Structure 1
Amino acid sequence: MMIFALIMLVIWLVFLMIGYGFYALSPWVISLFIGINLLSFIITWYDKRIATQNQTSAQTQRNRISEKTLYLYALIGGWPAAIIAQQYFRHKTQKNAFKYRFWLSIVINIVLTLGISYLYLLYTL
C-alpha cells in the first residue's frame, strides 16, 4: 500500500507541475497545496502519537485530532500526504468506516478540482 501512496503523490506532483508549466498556475497556489499537505502529514502523525500515548498511559488522556479534521484536510487537497502518513505510521488503516469516508473526500476533491479546472479553461480560452 505504501507504493500506491507514493504513486499517488508522484501523480499529484506531476499535475501540479503541468498546471504550473502549461496553465500558469501561480506559485502561491502550489505553495498552498504543499503547505496543506505538510499540515495534513503533521496532524496525522500527531493523532497517531496521541493515540499511542493514550494507550500506554491511562493517567493522562489527551484529546486526539477529530476524524472530521482529517476528512477536511483530505477534502481541501491534503490527501496525498495523508495517505503517505497513514501508511507510514500505520494509522487508521484498519478502520473501514474511516477509510470509506476518507476516500470519499478524496474523490470529491478530485472531482471538484477537475470541474474548476475545466470551467477555468473553458472561460479563459
Structure 2
Amino acid sequence: MNLNRFCYLFLALAAVGSLFSLHPFVMWCLLLNALTLIIYGIDKLAAVKSWQRVPEITLLFFGLIGGWVGAILGQQIFRHKTQKQPFKTYFIITVIVNLAISIGAMYWVYQYGIGVQW
C-alpha cells in the first residue's frame, strides 16, 4: 500500500473518530490539522531519503478541507514546500477557498438557523 493511500485511510479514521467526541467539528479540526502536520513531516522525510512521496494534490486537498493550519506549521517546522512557487500559489488559493466556504457556512447557519437548536 502506498503512502498516499495511508494518508486517506488516516483521514477517514480521523473523520470517524471525531464523530465519537462531544464536539465533533472541533475534534475534526484538531485531528485533521495534526494529521496534516504529520503528513508534511513524512513527506519531507521521504524527500530526503528519496522514498515515494505524497502527491502535491493530496497535500493541497488536506489544506482545502481544513488542515491548512497544520500545513503552514508543517511547512515552517520541516522547511518543506516553502520555495516551490506553483505549490505556494495553489496552497494560498486552497486556504482562501476554505476560509470563504467556512465563513459562508457560518453566515448561512446564523442567518437561517439551520442546524441550530433553540
TM-score > 0.5, shorter chain as reference:
yes
1:104 matches 2:100: no
Higher helix share: 1
CA distance in 2, matches of 1:88, 1:42: 11
CA distance in 2, matches of 1:28, 1:89: 29
Task: Name the counterpart of 1:121.
Answer: 110
Cα displacement (A) at 1:31: 0.3
Task: Name the counterpart of 2:34.
Answer: 38
Corresponding residue pairs, total: 93
Runs of 4+ in 1 over 4 A off after TM superposition: none
Give TM-score, length-normalised by structure 1: 0.72
CA distance in 2, matches of 1:34, 1:88: 18
Give TM-score, length-normalised by structure 2: 0.76
Task: Name the counterpart of 2:13.
Answer: none
Amino acid at match of 2:45: R
Cα displacement (A) at 1:28: 1.1
Cα displacement (A) at 1:27: 1.1
Cα displacement (A) at 1:81: 1.0
CA deviations on 1:8-43 (whole Å, 9 max, x unpaired) are: xxxxxxxxxxxxxxxxxx611100110000110011
Gaps of 5+ in 2: 1-21
Report the aligned-residue RMSD.
1.2
Structure with greater contact order relative to length (CA < 8 Å, sep ≥ 6): 1
CA distance in 2, matches of 1:87, 1:81: 10
CA distance in 1, matches of 2:30, 2:59: 16
Larger radius of gyration: 1
